Amino acid sequence: MTTTDAQQRLQGPDILRTTLRRNIGAMAWGTVLMGLYQAGETAFPIALGLIVEHTMRDRNLGSLAVSIAALAVIITTVSLSWRFGMRILQKANTTEAHRLRVQVAGRGLQPVAGDGGLKSGELLTIATEDADQTADIIEVVPLLVSSLVAVLIAAIVLGLADIRLGALVIVGTVAILSILSVMSERIGTGTREQQARVARAGAKVADLITGLRPLHGFGGNSAAFLSYRRVSTEARRQAVTVAKVNGAYAGTAQALNAILAAAVTVTAGYLAFDGRITIGQLVMAVGLAQFIMEPLKLFSDMPKYVTIARASAERMALVSAAPPVNTPSVARPTPGGDLEVDCVRYESLRKLKFVVPAGEFTAIAAYQPGAAVDLASILAVRVPPHAYEGAIRIGGREIADLSIEAIREHMLVNPYDGEIFAGTLRTNIDPSGSSRTVPEAVEASLLTDVVALHREGLDYAVRDRGANLSGGQRQRLSLARALAADADVLVLHDPTTAVDAVTEQLVARNIAKLRRGRSTIVITSSPALLDAADRVLVLDDGVITAEGTHRNLLATDPNYCLAVAR
């Protein structure tokens, strides 16, 4: 299946249909119970009318007792059917929302082509608000059906009393739904735009939190704040617009429902005054006119909720339909093979070509930071192979022919801004709990001082994003995690930018020692790491312009000396 086919097959309505199909059993039971609830509610004014019509006319205590018992049965039925019906539907709703969140999270953890341009903050919004609103369709459909049942029962019963009353309910309901369906389209359009803007604001917040320290460093706080304020203001304005439309919708629905109830009441009063219906039928008609306000309100709200659910499902489809970077494959790279970058052209990279032999510690000194980011992104398979020219080979196999799982088992790319998760030092270093080199990784990254500082040691609690750690501690924790993975090929991007020079030198020596015999690539401008490497490749203007040891390049290349000397 091609990328276009995948995107055509995975649309918002498809996600809604899948959601409904997965919960058909719970929805069937919920529909039965909620229909029973609405039928019981409808039966109450009918029963009152019959009591007035027969029991009170005959003045029979036995009939009155039976009538009271019948009302008690109706009330009990209404109470229990609502209780268990909503329990079933809300359990299914919550379970499906969880399932959708896991689905979005699973897709977010897998590299995708990124054609939708979604950032982590937007994924968070989709995985929370949109997942909840999509799952709401599970409650919407049974409530819609049960409300329809109630309106039909009321129309039939009133029609039996007088055909004009039944026709008034049917015609009025159709007119109300026709008016509100037009308004719901505007709500759907506004809601989709609001969700997109809120998601962009969430993405901006995530970016600001991630880059808070660098912003402090070069004084970019004010510009970043203004940028977020602009995005947030757009989201607020759209939210106000949607709230106004929602308010107009709710007010119109309430007014139309009240007009219909009043019309039924006035018509029934006129028919009773004219002697065409009895007093008992009048009581029943007035009671039903008041009762149908609730199912009509639910019934008239359904188009809005369906539209919102569809808009959320469309946003979820942006994640679900995004194609994977690599097609599934069973091929695996040969362990202990070379890493080859062969004539890669992408963004700032121009026919980039180099080979890292198995077991070598290679440093890449990128004169332009953008080139370092582009190279790290390609090696991390965050860029699909079809998006750049050339090829990257691991152990003689092109990564385009390998599965993501196979690549990650063989090669680990640790970004300069590696995330720190809430948990402990240990769970951050060894998330899977299977590493055998945690002590060595802690020592090599010089995280030993952090472990020794706290009584809990490696079980010291770490807050979300490492909020209770310094910048240097977070960076060393990320480095320890990368070293503990013990990958055949390890790529580190600026792993020591937040530590002091003395610590940086010790860390560089420790990395070289711990990784001896396995391929290690460090993209850096750190003199300590460059000096510890077996070979340095100079990346300038998108190509390799020089190579050699750090000290030889310092002695022979003035541009290199100017770029890396501190």
At 101-129, the pLDDT tens digits run 888 877 766 665 544 455 555 666 777 77
* Closest by CA position to 190, among listed 304, 97, 301: 304
Q: Does position 303 have pLDDT exceeding 50, yes or no?
A: yes
Give pairs for 548-555: CB < 8 Å, separation 24+.
550/363
Instruction: Give the count of beta carbons closer than 10 Å to the beta carbon of residue 369.
Output: 13
Confidence of residue 300 (pLDDT cuts 50, 70, 90): low
pLDDT at 330: 63
The distance of Cα 201 from the centroid of its chain, to the nearest Å, equals: 14
Q: Does position 4 have pLDDT exceeding 60, yes or no?
A: no
Using the CB atoms, write b or e for 415-447: b if 16+ within 10 Å: bbebebeeeebbbbbbeeeebebbebbbbbbbb
| pLDDT per residue as tens digits for the range 426-474 | 999 998 888 899 999 999 999 998 899 889 999 999 988 788 888 889 9
CA distance 78 to 40: 5
| pLDDT per residue as tens digits for the range 194-230 | 555 555 555 555 555 455 444 444 444 566 566 667 7
Q: Strand 461-462 to strand 349-356: parallel, antiparallel, or no bridges (unpaired)? A: unpaired
Give the chain's mean pLDDT: 81
Q: Say which residue the tokens 């052209």 belong to.
A: 345
pLDDT at 194: 55
For the record, the structure tokens of 458 come out as 């490696």
Instruction: Give the count of beta carbons closer than 10 Å to the beta carbon of residue 368.
Output: 13
* Closest by CA position to 173, among listed 190, 186, 155, 195: 155
65 backbone dihedrals φ, ψ, rounded to 5°: -65, -40
For the chain, the C-alpha Rg in angstroms (whole number) is 34
- Of the spans 194-198, 241-245, 320-324, which averages the highest pLDDT? 241-245
Q: Judging by beta carbons within 10 Å of its beta carbon (0-12, 13-18, 19+), is residue 336 exposed, middle or buried?
A: middle
Reported as type and span, the H/E element at residue 463 is: none
pLDDT at 206: 52
DSSP 112: B
pLDDT at 459: 92
| pLDDT per residue as tens digits for the range 397-434 | 888 888 777 888 888 999 887 788 888 999 999 988 88
Task: State the average pLDDT over residues 130-143.
Answer: 87
pLDDT at 214: 46
AA letter at 202:
G
Q: Which domains does the chain have, with CATH numbers?
A: 7-320 (1.20.1560.10), 339-564 (3.40.50.300)
| pLDDT per residue as tens digits for the range 327-341 | 555 667 777 778 999
| pLDDT per residue as tens digits for the range 29-88 | 999 998 888 888 888 777 777 776 666 565 666 666 777 787 888 888 888 999 999 999
Are 511 and 540 a contacting pair, CB within 8 Å?
Answer: no
pLDDT at 107: 74
Q: Does position 515 have pLDDT exceeding 60, yes or no?
A: yes
AA letter at 303:
P
Q: In sequence order, what are the residues at sequence separation of 6 or more whose Cβ sits closer than 8 angstroms to the Cβ of residue 265?
A: 285, 286, 289, 290
Please provide the distance, in angstroms rounded to a whole number, between the alpha carbons at the two ends of the chain.
53
* Closest by CA position to 456, among listed 444, 464, 468: 468
